[in-house]
A and B are shown apart, each in its own frame.
Chain A
Amino acid sequence: MPKPDMPAEYAFPDSAAKSRRGELDTERMSISMGPSHPSTHGVLRLQMELDGEVVRKAEPVIGYLHRGDEKIAENMTYNQFVPYTDRLDYLAPLANNMAYAIAVERLAKLEVPPRCQAIRVITAEMARISAHLLGLGAFGIDVGAWTVFLYSFAEREKLYKLFEELTGARFTTSYTRIGGVARDVPEGWTSRVDAFCEQFLPRLEETLSLLTRSRIFVDRTAGIGVISKEDAIAYGLTGPNLRASGVPLDLRKDKPYSGYEQYDFDVPVGTKGDGYDRYLVRGEEMRQSARIIRQAVAKFPGGSWHAEDARRITKPSKDRVLTSMEELIQNFMIVTEGPQMPAGEVYFEAENPKGALGFYIVSKGGGVPWRLKIRAPSFCNLSILPKVCVGAMVADIVSILGSLDFVMGECDR
């Protein structure tokens, strides 16, 4: 366990010991880490006051990636906003797409057919594996393990290939639409996904084995950045960070959506709330995600991939559009005016890899929302930094940031 205070009884004259004994004048040093820094995982600026090596005060400055998404949403139809949701948590775009689509569908009280739900679950869990792999890789680099980064990127490239086959894009997919998904799965895609999961599990064990019992990694993460259960709830932490602190909350199990209740999976919960627990929770979540994907592929239902007969919300099928006047008009109205939603308010949170991504939509009717608030898990996860960094050493800050695994695209929107 690191001792933040230097011992005063050194045999040789040491400046730290001298300052303790009051022989040396010291003052706190202000240091600004970021916004361009290899270890801040994006554009986060951390203003710290140091007393020697120990951080006495840490003030995160965010907003360096604030792009105005919420204002843009007030000027776009519901389907036009989908590409912007990709770029919130840009490590798992498919999961954001799904969360947004379900939130808007709650406005219209629209139920999507089982095949669409299964597709969304499979893609969201693949996105979860992709996001956790990158978090692991970045965490590895920060604490000095370059191999982990390369191994996890190799697996991610396989996932990218599958995403590209399904959606056309490697990672910013814009795949869901209100009332369904953009297109059906290609032939044989689900068996390729299953084959990926099968070869992924042993590779995952190999990658994790590089870190789990590595003395260096354990020393750098065990006992670092401890977040207590009460603090985690008080600061609104969600996702793996909350579960590592001992709160067994997982929205997929506790408030299931999109058919998650039919799948059998476990939710890993930590005990100590330190960086090592967060790492273990994420590793286990990847195994459980692979389990969910295999079940979903085995049960993959037939049927339509979008809600049929959802007038003024989902587009009719293309062959009808090109031959029948009424369907043509419907298609035109939906594209130009947007899916027509009733007036009202909804709030929906989905269990994203980083935590609970919430969408609060205020609609006054029509195809454009009046207000769209994105409740970003990384925003809440970062708000605990001023508390958790105090008393840590400067080198541990890097480890804490890596273990919290946040994304600035989502935090700043």
Chain B
Amino acid sequence: MTILQIILLIFLLVCAVSVSITRDLLNAILIYMSFSLIMSIIWVTLESPDLAITEAAVGAGVTSVLFFVTLKKIHAINIEKGTRELKDADINTEEEDGLDEQA
């Protein structure tokens, strides 16, 4: 095991732990993305570049983008106001949506 691999594995551990500790969902996704990138480099060092390509495209690319879109759907990211907290305005609109569905 080379030094590079050890460093990468330590990064991997740090990422894995910090994903579960982070309270902010957006940060958790970003850390998860970096986890996938590190994993893809580890795949290269383990001599399986085909897995590295897939990991980089699916893990770091598509899955994270889907997570972002889902967060936007559930109002966890508020891009317009630059804050990620659920503000009173959002609560109100959600309430209206719910009422409309009931009606």
Bound pair (A, B): no
Interface of A toward B, CB cutoff 8 Å: none
Interface of B toward A, CB cutoff 8 Å: none
